[in-house]
């Protein structure tokens, strides 16, 4: 890697292609239809949230946690020479990493979404976990540069070994041997070990980064060649997006490089949101959980999708409505009570006037009209004394 390729770009240098060196700038570039051939280059970091460790992260990476395998050096577990002598450590690890146990991440679904939108030129991956296939990406869209667990064969005569028997062997931590008894060589998944050539498919597709109009590099330390050289094959004026916990491979040194130094899943969500694809992406990812007993979340009710501010506004509107209704009720109640009182008072007055005429001072009044609904008795002048004061009577 040249010096040029590692020095971060001077922020004041404007991009050649993008309007801004931001996620929004990239989203605009894609939405404007200028990114129709996207190349994705991925590594172990896109699968860590699925529960598969990466290789080189200092505490959590696979290489930092292989003491139990008593290896002469960590990478020996993927060395063909070491495997020939001692295949057990690899098979110990294979039983932990074997596909089928892990759910694809939303980042895998994002790659599938790019394909479904007709924008993916190729996905180059160093991963052997097959999670992109699990997320619905057709096999031909991915170049598995370091092979995968999908197939296996004898390391000597190359005779393929049946998938179902391999699964059984791996489960039981048995070492599978060639079906050809005269060979009886060791069988190994078609993972590229150190000391082995990369698949022909890698070299056959190596020109594609040059044809890309956007490269997205995610979850790789870009330390293992020749894969690590792919981002440099992308044309100078073509935007490159790095989504990774750390800056790697000199990305960020070109004028159209965009860096999202964060978790892959949150990075792709940001990009999907800027593109207006987030809901579609989440729905697509939800389908990958069914096989693992994770039911797709029920589509959120209208109210649940609202932002905090919108929810607060709704709450205030509801409260205001309640208060208005209560006040209206009070007014109605008051006016009804008032009219009941007026009616009662009028009747009493009339009665008193009649009694005054006859000299009779009777307190109880069986002829009085029934109390108004809601009132406790018919001596309203006592109960609603305060109304009487203000009454117009
Ligand atoms: P590494 O372990 O070398 O690098 C993983 C990178 O992803 C690191 O830069 C991490 O910081 C970053 N990372 C980890 N978790 C992340 C996350 N959730 N979001 C964003 N970034 C994250 O893995 P690779 O580059 O894939 O080869 O390793 C390359 C090759 O080295 C592997 O294919 C394997 C190994 O030896 C073989 O087995 C042949």
Beta bridge partners of 42: 125, 218
Check: CB of residue 232 under 8 Å from CB of residue 1.
yes
Q: How far apart are CA 190 and CA 168, in angstroms?
A: 17
The residues, any chain, with a CB within 8 Å of residue 370's CB and separated by 6 or more, are 378
Atom of ligand 1 nearest to the CA of 62: 2
Please give the distance, rounded to the nearest whole angstrom, from the Cα atom of residue 104 to the centre of ligand 1.
Answer: 16
**For ligand 1, atom 15: residue with the closest CA:** 45
**For ligand 1, atom 9: residue with the closest CA:** 221
362: exposed, middle or buried (Cβ count in 10 Å: 0-12, 13-18, 19+): exposed
- Cis peptide upstream of residue 226 (ω within 30 degrees of 0): yes
Residue 146 a catalytic site member: yes
Q: In what order do the strands lie in the sheet with 142-144?
A: 142-144, 120-125, 38-42, 214-218, 240-243, 257-260
Top-tier CATH class for 3-299: alpha beta
pLDDT in tens, the chain (393 residues): 444 467 888 888 899 999 999 999 999 999 999 999 999 999 999 999 999 999 999 999 999 998 889 999 999 999 999 999 999 999 999 988 888 889 999 999 999 999 999 999 999 999 999 999 999 999 999 999 999 999 999 999 999 999 999 999 998 889 999 999 999 999 999 999 999 999 999 999 999 999 999 999 999 999 999 999 999 999 999 999 999 999 999 999 999 999 999 999 999 999 999 999 999 999 999 999 988 888 766 655 554 556 667 767 777 777 777 777 666 665 666 677 677 777 777 887 787 777 765 544 433 343 333 333 333 333 333 333 333 333 333
Atom of ligand 1 nearest to the CA of 78: 38
Cβ of 61 below 6 Å from ligand 1: yes
Task: Using the structure block, give the residue that is written with the tokens 């048995």.
Answer: 174
Domain ranges of the chain: 3-299
Please give the distance, rounded to the nearest whole angstrom, from the Cα atom of residue 33 to the centre of ligand 1.
Answer: 31
If you count them, how many residues does the chain have? Answer: 393
Task: Using the structure block, give the residue that is written with the tokens 């498919």.
Answer: 201
Task: Using the structure block, give the residue that is written with the tokens 């992406």.
Answer: 281
Please give the distance, rounded to the nearest whole angstrom, from the Cα atom of residue 75 to the centre of ligand 1.
Answer: 13
Query: Which residue ranges make up the annotated binding site?
Result: 44-48, 54-56, 126-129, 154, 157, 177-178, 183, 244-246, 264
């Amino acid at each position: 890697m040249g010096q040029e390729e590692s020095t971060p770009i001077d922020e004041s240098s404007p991009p050649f292609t993008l309007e801004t060196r931001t996620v929004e700038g990239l989203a605009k570039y894609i939405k404007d239809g200028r990114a129709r051939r996207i190349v994705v280059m991925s590594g172990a970091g896109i699968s860590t949230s699925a529960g598969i460790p990466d290789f080189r992260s200092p505490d959590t990476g696979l290489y930092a946690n292989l003491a139990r395998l008593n290896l002469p050096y960590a990478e020996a577990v993927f060395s063909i020479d070491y495997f020939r002598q001692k295949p057990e450590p690899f098979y110990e690890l294979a039983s932990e990493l074997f596909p089928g146990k892990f759910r694809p991440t939303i980042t895998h679904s994002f790659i599938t979404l790019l394909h479904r939108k007709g924008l993916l030129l190729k996905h180059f991956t160093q991963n052997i976990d097959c999670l992109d296939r699990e997320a619905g990406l057709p096999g031909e869209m991915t170049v598995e540069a370091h092979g995968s667990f999908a197939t296996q064969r004898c390391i000597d005569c190359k005779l393929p070994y049946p998938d179902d028997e391999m699964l059984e062997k791996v489960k039981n931590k048995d070492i599978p041997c060639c079906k050809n008894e005269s060979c009886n060589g060791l069988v190994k998944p078609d993972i590229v070990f150190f000391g082995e050539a990369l698949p022909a498919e890698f070299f056959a597709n190596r020109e594609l980064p040059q044809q890309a109009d956007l490269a997205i590099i995610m979850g790789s330390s870009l330390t293992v060649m020749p894969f690590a050289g792919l981002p440099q094959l992308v044309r100078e004026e073509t935007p490159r997006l790095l989504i990774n916990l750390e800056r790697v491979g000199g990305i960020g040194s070109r004028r159209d490089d965009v860096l999202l130094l964060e978790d892959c899943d949150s990075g792709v969500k940001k990009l999907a949101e800027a593109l207006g694809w987030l809901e579609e992406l989440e729905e697509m990812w939800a389908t990958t959980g069914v096989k693992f007993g994770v039911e797709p979340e029920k589509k959120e009710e209208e109210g649940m999708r609202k932002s905090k501010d919108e929810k607060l506004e709704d709450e205030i509107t509801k409260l205001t409505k309640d208060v208005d209704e209560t006040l209206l009720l009070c007014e109605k109640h008051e006016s009804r009570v008032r009219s009941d009182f007026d009616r009662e008072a009028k009747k009493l007055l009339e009665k008193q006037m009649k009694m005054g005429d006859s000299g009779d001072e009777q307190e109880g009044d069986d002829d009085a009209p029934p109390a108004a609904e809601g009132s406790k008795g018919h001596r309203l002048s006592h109960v609603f004394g305060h109304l009487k004061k203000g009454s117009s009577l």
